Structure 1
Amino acid sequence: MDLINTFFNWEVLVRAFPILLRGLGYTLMLGCVTIVIGTTAGLLLCLVRLYAIRPIQLLAIVYIDVFRALPILVLLILVYYALPFVGIRFDSFTSATLALSMVLAAFTAEVCRAGIQNVPKGQFEAAASLGMPFWQSMRKIILPQAIKVIIPPLTSNSISVFKDTALASVVAMPDLLKQANDAQAMMANPTPLVGAALIYLAILWPMVRLVGYLEARNQRATTR
């Protein structure tokens, strides 16, 4: 009974639930904005990595390698706490969006590169023979074929983004985890943290199953 009263106290959970919902709103908004910005920037970064002149390609490679290796928490602290020393200040939401998007762009660039390079070279040659401009051939021929390979890992990256939004509590953004911590301190009971974990599970578990479904469908398509 002590375990139930401590970690699964229904009365505490009911009192904390409105607080958790406010945090959930910030978490969903942060995750969605990050996915849109990071995915778009990652696709552009991928095209630079593949088709720009060599010096620009090298800069793109360095960016991708650095931001794939750099812990998000370290980057978030640098953006929020270090940049003000050089006169650049962002609020907590903007700092979290910037840090998460920069990392997501690096991972997305590699995912898109793998998808584009998976397209047979004959498709590129066919587009060139038709006299298609680069952007038109990408939009009408290459990317529609690459997207079949790209979607499952992109979905997996999106799940990681929503989990990583919990790090935004470090810069005092009132996301789901921050609100759960505040509710725990106010009510002297860890049940709000368990409630936050259940909310994360309810949101992310369907996305995990979606990734599995997309991967299985892609595997079936490639074996035909």
Structure 2
Amino acid sequence: MPDWLQLMIDSFPSLLYAGLVFTIPLTLLSFVLGLSLGFVTALTRLYAPLPLVALARFYVWLFRGTPLLVQLFLIFYGLPKVGIVFDPFPAALIGFTLNVGAYSSEIVRAVIESVSRGQWEAAYSIGMSWSQAMRRIILPQATRIAVPPLSNTFIALVKDTSLAAVLTVPELFQAAQRIASTTYEPLVMYTEAALLYLLFSTVLSWGQTRLEQHYGRHATHLGGQS
């Protein structure tokens, strides 16, 4: 067996462990928190008073207009200069959450606005409040539209978590770096890390397709009933 293949086999458990224990949890937590933040930000931009709208716009402008790597460096290496210190994993979580929140807010805002005004009027005409109309009429339709772009954001986030290595978070890419530094085989280790990221992304892409098909069938079913 070639030495490079034996190294990949020997390293696989460590890389997989780092992926399952750090990369995937970091991705899931960042996405859930970021999507929640994005939802609140989108509603703020659409329905809040003007000062809050301006604040939400500034947040989105700031985090969409600066590199994610710079944001992570500012949180982990910059904030300690003013007395705010985070451990590596929380620092990465905060950075990814804020970044995902900014991007997902634009997706949520766009899909809510894509639902026709007639849907609101129909909801109000049968006595629904704003919150009831949003929950029962608008969001179900917006969710179907939002699935593809939000899924793409989630898949991109899986790969972006490799940036957490610069904060010394022991995720998948950092584990590959550590092994490469002792075996002097960066090509082998980084290739194996890339293959694992590709595996995770492929599984998620398959899940995205199934989710889109589910919502597509649901929309067709509703259309047939109307």
Instruction: Name the SS of the counterpart of 2:86 in structure 1.
Output: coil
Q: How much does 1:39 deviate?
A: 0.6
Which one of 3, 12, 32 corresponds to residue 17 of structure 1?
A: 12
Q: Contact (CA 8 Å) 1:20, 1:176: kept in 2 or not?
A: yes
Gaps of 5+ in 1: none
Q: Residue in 2 aligned with 1:131?
A: 127
Percent identical residues: 38
Code of the aligned partner of 1:195: E
Distance in 2 of aligned mates of 1:54 and 1:177: 43
Higher relative contact order (CA 8 A, sep 6+): 1
Distance in 1 of aligned mates of 2:169 and 2:93: 11
Per-residue CA deviation, residues 1-49 of structure 1 (Å, 9 max, x unaligned), is xxx75xxx11111221222122112001100100110011101110001
Q: How much does 1:215 deviate?
A: 6.5
Q: Residue in 2 aligned with 1:47?
A: 43
Per-residue CA deviation, residues 44-90 of structure 1 (Å, 9 max, x unaligned), is 11000100011211111111121111110000000001111111111
Q: How much does 1:131 deviate?
A: 3.5
Q: Residue in 1 aligned with 2:189?
A: 192
Q: Contact (CA 8 Å) 1:40, 1:105: kept in 2 or not?
A: yes
CA root-mean-square deviation: 2.2
Q: Contact (CA 8 Å) 1:19, 1:183: kept in 2 or not?
A: no
Matched, 1:65 2:64: no
Q: Residue in 2 aligned with 1:203?
A: 200
TM-score, normalised on structure 2? 0.88
Matched, 1:154 2:150: yes
Code of the aligned partner of 1:201: L
Matched, 1:81 2:83: no
Distance in 2 of aligned mates of 1:219 and 1:46: 25
Distance in 2 of aligned mates of 1:47 and 1:54: 12
Distance in 2 of aligned mates of 1:162 and 1:100: 11
TM-score, normalised on structure 1? 0.89
Matched, 1:119 2:115: yes
Distance in 1 of aligned mates of 2:7 and 2:82: 44
CA change 1:218–1:139 in 2 (3 A) is closer
Gaps of 5+ in 2: none
Distance in 2 of aligned mates of 1:114 and 1:52: 16
Q: How much does 1:135 deviate?
A: 2.1
Code of the aligned partner of 2:65: A
Q: How much does 1:194 deviate?
A: 1.3
Per-residue CA deviation, residues 95-137 of structure 1 (Å, 9 max, x unaligned), is 1110011010011111011110110101112223333332222
Instruction: Name the SS of the counterpart of 1:141 in structure 2.
Output: helix
